[in-house]
């Protein structure tokens, strides 16, 4: 506020002094030129100070500093390092928490996929053993053999081999009866359809 008031006072003085020396425009131009020079000098000083502070923060250009200034600089650096470490730890903890949640999500997804795979395998197995499936057909073909490796033949299935043998045997007996007439009651025999026993007469 004091600097602003001083600037206004200088402006008024410059305006009053320029009444006899020249026009008001020349006075204003001179005033603004002076103010611009002062501002450029202040900016240059600030830049130099900032550069000096940066060097001191990096531990350089400490020769001109007193013990008190060094102590103050050390305190500022320690506070700054503490805040930096606190912020860094906060970010690290947040990242660790995110990774832990991500690990849990991946584990749950893995378990879900395993359950789906197991369910799919059970479904394929059930379809295979149902009628029409490949495993069912192989099981049905295996059921045609008994434990000894023989075909299981039901009583309703005709045995063509035994039927042909019965017909041939009966024909031979008839031919023998026609050619040879025994002097005594010759025994005769007949075979049943299963060739399980003989009948004598």
The Cα–Cα gap between 110 and 116 comes to 10
Is position 9 within any domain?
yes
- Residues 136, 168, single domain; the answer is no
User: Mean pLDDT lowest for which of 42-56, 115-129, 164-178, 185-199?
Assistant: 185-199
pLDDT by residue (tens digit) across 48-104?
Answer: 988 888 888 888 878 888 899 889 989 999 999 999 999 999 999 999 999 999 999
If one counts every other C-beta atom within 10 angstroms of the C-beta of residue 25, the result is 9
| Domains identified in the chain, total number | 3
- Residues 167, 138, single domain; the answer is no
| Percentage of the residues of the chain whose pLDDT score is greater than 70 | 56
Phi, psi angles (nearest 5°) of residue 145: -110, 145
User: Mean pLDDT lowest for which of 108-112, 137-141, 149-153?
Assistant: 149-153
Which residue, 151, 165, 174, is CA-closest to 194?
165
pLDDT band at 8; cut points 50, 70, 90: confident
- Residue matched to tokens 């350089």: 60
Is position 123 within any domain?
yes
Is position 42 within any domain?
yes
Q: In whole angstroms, how far apart are CA 167 and each of 88, 164, 194, 195?
A: 106, 5, 12, 12
- Residues 133, 95, single domain; the answer is yes
Is position 124 within any domain?
yes
The boundaries of the domain holding residue 56 are 1-64
- Residues 102, 55, single domain; the answer is no
Residue 145's beta-bridge partner residues?
A: 151
């Amino acid at each position: 506020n004091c600097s602003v008031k001083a600037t206004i006072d200088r402006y008024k003085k410059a305006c009053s002094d320029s009444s006899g020396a020249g026009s008001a425009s020349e006075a204003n131009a001179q005033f603004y030129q002076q103010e611009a020079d002062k501002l450029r000098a202040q900016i240059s000083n600030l830049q130099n100070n900032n550069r000096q502070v940066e060097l001191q923060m990096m531990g350089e250009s400490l020769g001109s500093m007193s013990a008190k200034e060094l102590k103050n600089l050390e305190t500022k650096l320690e506070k700054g390092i503490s805040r930096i470490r606190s912020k860094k730890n906060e970010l690290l903890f947040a990242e660790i928490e995110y990774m832990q949640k991500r690990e849990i999500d991946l584990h749950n997804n893995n378990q879900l996929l395993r359950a789906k795979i197991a369910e799919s395998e059970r479904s394929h197995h059930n379809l295979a053993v149902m009628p029409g499936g490949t495993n069912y057909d192989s099981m049905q073909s295996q059921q045609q053999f008994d434990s000894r490796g023989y075909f299981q033949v039901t009583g309703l299935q005709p045995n063509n081999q035994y039927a042909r043998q019965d017909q041939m045997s009966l024909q031979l007996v008839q031919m023998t009866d026609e050619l040879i007439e025994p002097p005594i009651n010759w025994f005769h025999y007949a075979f049943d359809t299963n060739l399980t026993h003989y009948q004598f007469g």
